[in-house]
């Protein structure tokens, strides 16, 4: 990895927002998944969460992975498991849903740890998600249609979150743990070595400030990098 690439990845990681995420609930169209993850990357989200049903489980491998090389996807078996996991991280859980109790998405404080549930394209969020969420949010609309494409809705909400977090200075201080930075630096800077490490169940090495791998001779021998 060149020093220039190292610095670029470092700059991106310095603005990652581990306290902001989305949860895709049975979003089943690959182009929508890709578009949402792309928006997540653009506003600095480090990890998204997903719940797939039997029809969408084929996406588990990571459909969106142009951006997915930089945004991690954590899968959950049910929306109950996903929301429980997010609440255990002290996140407020929002769900996009049109109802009398929903608030304008711009009236939410996104400087707080926040997770946003985005429901399936046709039917939206499930009743389970709505019941377990802390707050329903809505994007005001004055036209004939009452909903936006899920990826468009995600982008609008996420950029409001980015706006608020920028004002609060949350992009000025690195929030991502150094261990997470090291993982992404290796995976993004040395994809071939990463593949071999995963196959051989080897630990990822440290990446120094020049973007170079720091590892002992035993690690290099175990890697057998000459076979690449």
- What is the tens place of the pLDDT at every residue in 105-160? 999 999 999 999 998 777 888 999 999 999 999 998 878 777 778 899 999 999 99
The pLDDT of residue 65 is above 50? no
CATH architecture of the domain with range 17-167: 3-Layer(aba) Sandwich (3.40)
Q: pTM here?
A: 0.87
Angle at which helix 30-43 crosses helix 150-167, to 10 degrees, equals 10
Structure confidence at residue 64 (pLDDT): 38
Q: CATH 3.40.1280.10 region(s) of the chain?
A: 17-167
* DSSP output for 95-122: EE--STT-EEGGGS-TTS-EEEEE-BTT
Tell me the average pLDDT across 187-216: 93
Q: What is the pLDDT of residue 121?
A: 76
> Distance (Å, rounded) from C-alpha 30 to C-alpha 25?
13
For residue 136, what is the DSSP state?
E
- Is 63 assigned to a binding site? no
Q: Which of the pair, 26 or 78, is modelled with greater confidence?
A: 78
Mean pLDDT, the chain, whole residue set: 88
Write the CA distances from 192 to 12, 61, 85, 110, 168, integer angstroms: 21, 18, 32, 37, 39
Instruction: Specify the pLDDT at position 142.
Output: 79
For residue 63, pLDDT over 50 is answered with no
Beta partners for residue 92, in sequence order: 114
Inter-residue contact 68 to 45 (CB < 8 Å): no
Confidence of residue 76 (pLDDT cuts 50, 70, 90): very high
Q: Do the annotations mark residue 148 as ligand-binding?
A: yes
Cα 101-102-107 angle, rounded to 5 deg:
125
Q: Residue 125's closest CA among 137, 135, 115, 117?
A: 117
**Binding site annotation covers 83?**
no
pLDDT at 58: 46
Query: Per-residue pLDDT tens for 28-38?
Result: 888 889 899 99
Structure confidence at residue 55 (pLDDT): 52
Question: Which residue, 226, 177, 182, is CA-closest to 19?
Answer: 177
């Amino acid at each position: 990895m060149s020093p220039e690439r190292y610095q670029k990845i470092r700059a991106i990681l310095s603005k990652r927002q581990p306290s902001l995420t989305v949860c895709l609930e049975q979003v089943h169209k690959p182009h929508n998944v890709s578009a949402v993850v792309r928006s997540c990357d653009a506003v600095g989200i480090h990890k998204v969460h997903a719940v797939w049903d039997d029809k969408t489980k084929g996406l588990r491998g990571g459909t969106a992975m142009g951006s997915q090389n930089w945004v991690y996807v954590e899968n959950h078996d049910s929306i109950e498991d996903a929301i429980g996991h997010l609440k255990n991280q002290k996140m407020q859980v929002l769900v996009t849903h049109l109802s009398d109790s929903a608030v304008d998405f711009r009236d939410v404080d996104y400087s707080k740890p926040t997770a946003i549930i985005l429901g399936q394209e046709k039917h939206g969020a499930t009743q389970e998600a709505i019941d377990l969420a802390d707050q329903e949010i809505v994007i005001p609309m004055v036209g004939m249609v009452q909903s936006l494409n899920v990826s468009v809705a995600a982008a609008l909400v996420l950029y409001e979150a980015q706006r608020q977090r920028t004002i609060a200075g949350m992009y000025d201080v690195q929030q991502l743990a150094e261990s997470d930075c090291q993982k992404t630096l290796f995976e993004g800077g040395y994809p071939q070595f990463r593949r071999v490490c995963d196959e051989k169940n080897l630990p990822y090495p440290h990446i120094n400030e020049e973007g170079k791998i720091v590892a002992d001779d035993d690690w290099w021998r175990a890697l057998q990098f000459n076979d690449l």
